[in-house]
Every structure is written in C-alpha cells, then in structure tokens.
Amino acid sequence: MDHLFPKGLGEDGDEDADGKLSTSLENQPWSAVPARKTGYIESIDADALLDVAREHGTILRMERGIGEFVVEGAPLVSVVDPGGLDDETAPAIFHLC
C-alpha cells in the first residue's frame, strides 16, 4: 500500500477550504473504458498506467480497485482525452488492469 499510495501523494493538490479537490477535472470530458470481461480485478500496474497517461498526455482515473468485481461493459477506467480514445490507448490500459 505504501508503494501505491505514498504518504505525500496528493498533498500539493488544488483543494478548497473544505478539503475537496478543484472542480477543474470534473469539467473535463471523461471517456469511459469498459471492462472487456466479467471478473475480479487481480492486479493493477500503476507505474505502467502512469506511463500510458504520460505518453498520451492524458489523465487516467481508476473506477474500480483491486479485489473488486466488475461486469463486462462496466466502466473500468475513465480517461480525460478531449480527442477521444485512440486505437492504441484502450488496449494498453486493458493489459495493465
């Protein structure tokens, strides 16, 4: 857990007086990446997901976590990507979750 969620993670985020993150991300166009099959999430390669996000200049938000049950077609990951998902981004994400 310490590797995935370091103590300093998020401390420099844009938070208001109530401790809520800025709504700037909420106003972005999010595209859902649906799960390809039904089952439990066994692992997430966080480092590789970060690499994919950097490579494509986008932000990824995990909608489900390790140990959660997901049904085929349900949102697995959401992506901030004004141009939409390209043919390379979604398959790259599936191999990491």
Instruction: State the pLDDT confidence band at 70, using cuts at 50, 70 and 90.
Output: very high
Contact call for residues 60 and 78 (beta carbons, < 8 A): yes
pLDDT at residue 9 tops 50: no
Q: pTM for this one?
A: 0.61
Residue 72 has pLDDT above 90, yes or no: yes
**Class of the CATH domain delimited by 30-94:** alpha beta
Q: How far apart are CA 88 and CA 52, in angstroms?
A: 10
Give the C-alpha separation, 76 to 56, whole Å. 18
Q: pLDDT band at 34, cuts 50/70/90?
A: confident
**pLDDT above 70 (res 90):** no
